[in-house]
Amino acid sequence: MEISKDLTAASSTPLVLAILAEEDSYGYAILQRVRELSEGRLEWTDGMLYPVLHRLGRLGYIEGRWEVAESGRRRKYYRITAQGRLHLDEQRRQWQAVDATLRGIWRTVGLPGPADFTMSTRPLPAGG
Amino acid sequence: MPTQDDARSLEEQIDQWRTYLRRRQAIHSVDVAELEDHLREQIAVLSDSGLDTDEAFLVAVKRMGDLDALSREFAREHSDRLWKQLVLVSSDSGESRAHAQTEAVVVLCLAVAAAALIKVPALFGIQIGEDAGFYARNLSLFVLPLLTVYFIWKRRLDGRTIAWLGAGFVAAALFANVYPFAPDGSTQTLTALHLPIALWVALVGVAYAGPRWRAPDGRMDFIRFSGELFIYYALIALGGGVLMGLTAMIFRAIGIDIEPVFESWVLPCGAVGAVVIASWLVEAKQSVVENMAPVLTRLFTPLFAAVLVMFVGTVVWTGRGVGIERDVLIAFDLLLVVVLALVLYAISARDQESPPGLFDVLQFVLVVSALAADALALWAIAARITDFGLAPNRVAALGMNVILLVNLARSAVLYLRFLRRRASFAALERWQTAYVPVYAVWATFVVIVFPPVFAYI
């Protein structure tokens, strides 16, 4: 199952903010974490993460800083700001509201709910 | 197992990818560095999982996604980046930033020194309002030495060049001040007009281009620099004028007349300091922001060409002679200077390889019509050479006219050969850059020889 472009784009902000709320990170590691969490179902084009990071930076939700990684290369790390945490909270509430609404309607019309999509039953994608 | 050859070809491939990405205006070099770090990590992970370097590179680039789409995303995120900004001290950390900061400090110190220097004579009782002749003769000496110091610092010139530059300025100061000029005389005006030209080309030019002064491209860079400096200086002067006008108005509102302060302090100090500042801006911007002089050239070449063709046509049609009143030669000199500038800045921005086009035809028409207009003026003067008289400023104007005429006549020949595809465009560029010292030689000649020959009148 591939998740549609619109949903991928819409979920990118809370996902990136939440990953950065776990710990400071950099582009490649953020993408790895997304793959891990979604078990490969959220497929991002690598490059497109960076405009998203820039947008979040401009809005003041995250901050970037250059550091020298253990590989010896300069690497840009990102950190979530206090404002970013507030926004993440706000986003979480919105997504929960959407989720609750959908769960309600799935139940009413008798379609299977999220319990049938447990992550563990999904095979891990190759190369992820 | 990656071998050394693999590693080298990978570096080359990453180099190419980076160069390709850097051409995108919306993606800045720090973003490229970030994306490169990503690419390298991806390649490393893929290599570890068994792919060879070439394959790993291709897969990593593919995963990065379509660069056009990425560039568009960046542009949407940073629409301001499509407007090139002049950043004097970049926000990057590291050596380049430290160097840019040092340069800013050096430039500010030199600008302040120039502003202070022009007030030094006032300490010895030589006031700007009262001794205008002194200031007119020496104006270039208050600022150009400091500008030269900037280039000596920036280009790390060797001792011999510095000695030549120093000797040049000392000689200039001597010739500007030892002659017993008659007050308000024409030889004094000629010195005031020609000394800056001589110093600009022979000393600032040498300091700017350094060892490249002997090469055509070094001189062409100096010509480009001069044009941009002129435009930046005009813009700064405009801003300064607005600032002074507003200041005068708000101070008048509280009953204080601030104009004397302007005349003796703000205007002279600002005018000399701005030369150094404008030079710094042009140096900083040269590779970042498009050159403006060639743009203006493209705009005005057709207009000037049309005006000149109409002028020559009108003279021929109506049979009117060109009058030889006092300033007629100066007017035609200025015309030739403008035409020469249009030719120079068109050359400075032209791709030498491209074939002749409509714009080259226009340039040719411009040069030929300017030559025709000037020939009409010279013919009128030659016909009545006795009425014309040999006052120093007329001789100087005539000399300048001849120099410009020779340059443009040869340029017209070279343009024609180029348009008929008998010669390359490079010949025209070489001719123009080779001619640059002629202006300095003539200006120096006027400064040194004219005052004694014409008895300092």
| CB pair distance less than 8 Å for B37 and A46 | no
pLDDT tens digit string along B227-269? 999 999 999 999 999 999 999 999 999 988 888 888 888 888 9
Nearest to A51 among B30, B41, B73 (CB): B73
On whether the CB atoms of residues B428 and B418 are closer than 8 A, the answer is yes
Give the DSSP per-residue string, chain A. Answer: -PPPHHHHHHHHHHHHHHHHHHS-EEHHHHHHHHHHHHTT-S---GGGHHHHHHHHHHTTSEEEEEEE-TTSSEEEEEEE-HHHHHHHHHHHHHHHHHHHHHHHHHHHHT---GGGG-GGGSPPPTT-
| For range B38-44, the mean pLDDT | 90
Number of domains in chain A: 1
Which residues from B are below 8 Å from A when comparing CB atoms?
Answer: 30-31, 33-35, 37-38, 40-42, 44, 49, 63-67, 69-70, 73-74, 76-78, 93
Which stretches in chain A have pLDDT values below 50? 116-128
* pLDDT grade for B456, boundaries at 50, 70 and 90: confident
| CB pair distance less than 8 Å for B76 and A51 | yes
- A57 belongs to a structural domain: yes
Enumerate the β-bridge partners of residue A64: A78
- Residues in chain A with CB shorter than 8 Å from the CB of B77 are 51, 54-55, 58
- Residues in chain A with CB shorter than 8 Å from the CB of B93 are 66
How much is the pTM? 0.71
What is the percent of chain B with per-residue pLDDT over 70, rounded to a whole number? Answer: 93
Helices B29-48 and A49-58: crossing angle in degrees, nearest 10, is 140
What's the rounded Cα separation, in Å, for the pair B409 and A101?
84
More confident position, B86 or A42:
A42
Q: Which domain holds residue A18?
A: 5-109
- pLDDT, position A116: 47
- pLDDT, position A128: 35
- Is residue B66 over pLDDT 90? no
Give the DSSP per-residue string, B391-438. Answer: -HHHHHHHHHHHHHHHHHHHHHHHHHHHHTTSS-HHHHHHHHHHHHHH
What's the rounded Cα separation, in Å, for the pair B389 and A84?
82
What is the percent of chain B with per-residue pLDDT over 90, rounded to a whole number? Answer: 46
- A115 belongs to a structural domain: no
For residue A46, the domain's CATH number is 1.10.10.10
∠ CA(A36), CA(A40), CA(A43), 5° rounding?
115
| CB pair distance less than 8 Å for A28 and B67 | no
- pLDDT, position B93: 52
- pLDDT, position A61: 92
Which of A43-52, B146-155, B380-389 shows the lowest mean pLDDT across its residues? B380-389
H or E element in which residue B271 lies? helix B267-285
